[in-house]
Chain A
Amino acid sequence: MRAPVLLRLLLVIILVVALQSSVLLNLRIDGIHPEIVWFLPMAAALLGGADYGAIVGFTAGFAIDCLLPAPFGLSAFVGVLLGYGLGQFSERTGLAADGGAWWLVPLIGLITSFLAVLAYAAFGIVFGQDQFANANYLGLVTVVPLTSAIFAIPVWLSMSWAFGSRRGAHHRRTSEVSW
């Protein structure tokens, strides 16, 4: 993992987590606020592959776990699964939002954040958070994916910048992570 990419990724993660913990908490529809942090591992997986997806998922999840009153480590756990899972799916099927139609990024944001909410809730219940069963799921599976679709484009652009040019990102998709 090259140092400049690492630093830029860290900067984007901190900024998105800060946005999530500040202004986005006020953007509530039916009491539900957007959760754009989930899009970080997804963008990393599509731009950099499964390894980057997992690493960004862990880092972003861990950062948000430090600020949330949720079970510590749960977001990191779900982030790794999402980033790695989407990265593997992307590598095997050739799915690439980069260079595709403009609506592909919001669509991926919508679908994957829907899965992220359900995965977070399911693993939360598995880890003993019984109160997760009482959450407003109708609101969650509509508001979170729809708002993620809107915020996906700026987050995607930020992650593209973090990974370098689009061309560089394309190369990185087929290269391994080296330390």
Chain B
Amino acid sequence: MATRRTRRSTTIVTLLLLSAFTIVALSASGTASSFTSGLRSLGSTILSPVVNVMNDVTKPVGHAFEGVFNYGSVTAENARLQAINAQLRSQGLVQSYERHQLSEIDALRNLPFVQNIPLVVAQTMAIDPSNFASTIQISKGRDQGIGVGMPVVGAGGLVGQVILTTKNTATVRLVSDGRSKIGASVGTTSILGIASGQGAGDPLSLDYVAPNSAVKSGQIVYTNGLQGADYPAGIPLGKVSSASTPVNASQMSISLTPLANLSSVAYVDVLLWSPPL
């Protein structure tokens, strides 16, 4: 009896482990991606309404916690906002919250680097839903024309790339994420490199730049849009915060500060752009 039970137990756990392993392997390799993304999309579609209701109900709790555990930053933010408020009052430019949001969206509609690429404005719903990846979730998805691989920009510059879509939401991998690799060029020069994310809150690293190239702190780095690149050319990515060539190194050591404020992106533009085949 005990042996029969053990065998059944082993069968159950083996089947579950094999199923999970198969899903991970299919998902990671990109094989049968329509199957895995369909499965994920189905699950997300079922769970999202419950999550949205829970979000609405529990928002005040989250805000209260934020106030208690991040008191220092809240105080600093408060002081900064008071200073801005005082400045705005003196200019007679006090605006309502809604008008401020509208202006933010309006700013997104007039980004010079977007050129003629059609775009979709989306609101950020969640920042870093996983402790292991730098991502945001936005309020527009497949139904609004958003697809995997599309670039996402904010008021400052490049924010990231769409990596997952559902009917009405999408997940964006931020440029700071460890898996983010972007073909980049420094200023108006022909110095090219690959900008890599180093994790949330950390500067980007610009790799494969030849030693002693003319790269200086303060220069702006743009997407290079070379053939096969994942982004159109000319989107501001970051500002060089340090650049040096270590002794005997085969490349320069360059750090970039992202131009978009990745920790508080309220609205973003998704560029309806795909790399040319």
Is A124 on the interface with B (CB-CB < 8 A)? yes
Q: Which single member of B36, B46, B58, B177 contacts A23 (CB below 8 Å)?
A: B58
**Residue-wise interface mask of B (1-27) relative to A, using a CB-CB cutoff of 8 A (1 in contact, 0 not):** 000010011001100110111111101
Q: Which of B85-93, B126-134, B235-243, B251-259 contacts A (4 or more CB under 8 A)?
A: B126-134
Name the residue among A29, A66, A132 with the largest chain B CB count within 10 angstroms: A66
Chain A residue with minimal CB distance to B177?
A: A131
Is B277 on the interface with A (CB-CB < 8 A)? no
Docked CA distance A16–B179 (Å): 29
Docked CA distance A161–B163 (Å): 38
Identify which of residues 162-185 in chain B touch chain A, using a CB-to-CB cut-off of 8 Å: 163-164, 171, 173, 177-179
A26 contacts across to B, CB distance below 8 A = 59, 61-63, 65-66
**Residue-wise interface mask of A (154-179) relative to B, using a CB-CB cutoff of 8 A (1 in contact, 0 not):** 00000000000000000000001100
Is B214 on the interface with A (CB-CB < 8 A)? no
Q: Are B20 and A28 in contact (CB under 8 A)?
A: no
Q: Given A17-B47, A77-B21, A131-B179, are A84 and B13 neighbors across the interface (CB < 8 Å)?
A: yes
Is B200 on the interface with A (CB-CB < 8 A)? yes
Minimum Cβ distance to chain B for residue A50 (Å): 6
Is B139 on the interface with A (CB-CB < 8 A)? no
Chain A residue with minimal CB distance to B17?
A: A80
Minimum Cβ distance to chain B for residue A98 (Å): 20
Q: Are B65 and A27 in contact (CB under 8 A)?
A: yes
Q: Are A131 and B135 in contact (CB under 8 A)?
A: no
Docked CA distance A48–B23 (Å): 26
Is B275 on the interface with A (CB-CB < 8 A)? no
Identify which of residues 101-129 in chain A touch chain B, using a CB-to-CB cut-off of 8 Å: 117, 120-121, 124, 127-129
Q: Given A51-B9, A71-B27, are A22 and B21 neighbors across the interface (CB < 8 Å)?
A: no
Docked CA distance A72–B20 (Å): 9
Docked CA distance A106–B23 (Å): 32
**Residue-wise interface mask of A (120-153) relative to B, using a CB-CB cutoff of 8 A (1 in contact, 0 not):** 1100100111111111100010001000000000
A39 contacts across to B, CB distance below 8 A = none
B128 contacts across to A, CB distance below 8 A = 25, 31, 33
**Residue-wise interface mask of A (25-67) relative to B, using a CB-CB cutoff of 8 A (1 in contact, 0 not):** 1111101110100000000000000110011011001110111
Is A7 on the interface with B (CB-CB < 8 A)? no
Q: Are A21 and B129 in contact (CB under 8 A)?
A: yes
Q: Are B9 and A120 in contact (CB under 8 A)?
A: no
B249 contacts across to A, CB distance below 8 A = none
Minimum Cβ distance to chain B for residue A37 (Å): 12
Is B100 on the interface with A (CB-CB < 8 A)? no
Q: List 19 A-B contacts (CB under 8 A).
A: A17-B51, A18-B50, A18-B51, A19-B58, A26-B63, A66-B39, A66-B43, A66-B44, A69-B137, A72-B39, A73-B24, A73-B36, A80-B17, A84-B13, A121-B132, A131-B197, A135-B199, A176-B5, A177-B12
9 extra A-B contacts, CB within 8 A, seeds A67-B129, A71-B24, A73-B27: A15-B54, A18-B50, A21-B51, A26-B66, A27-B69, A62-B20, A127-B24, A127-B28, A131-B199
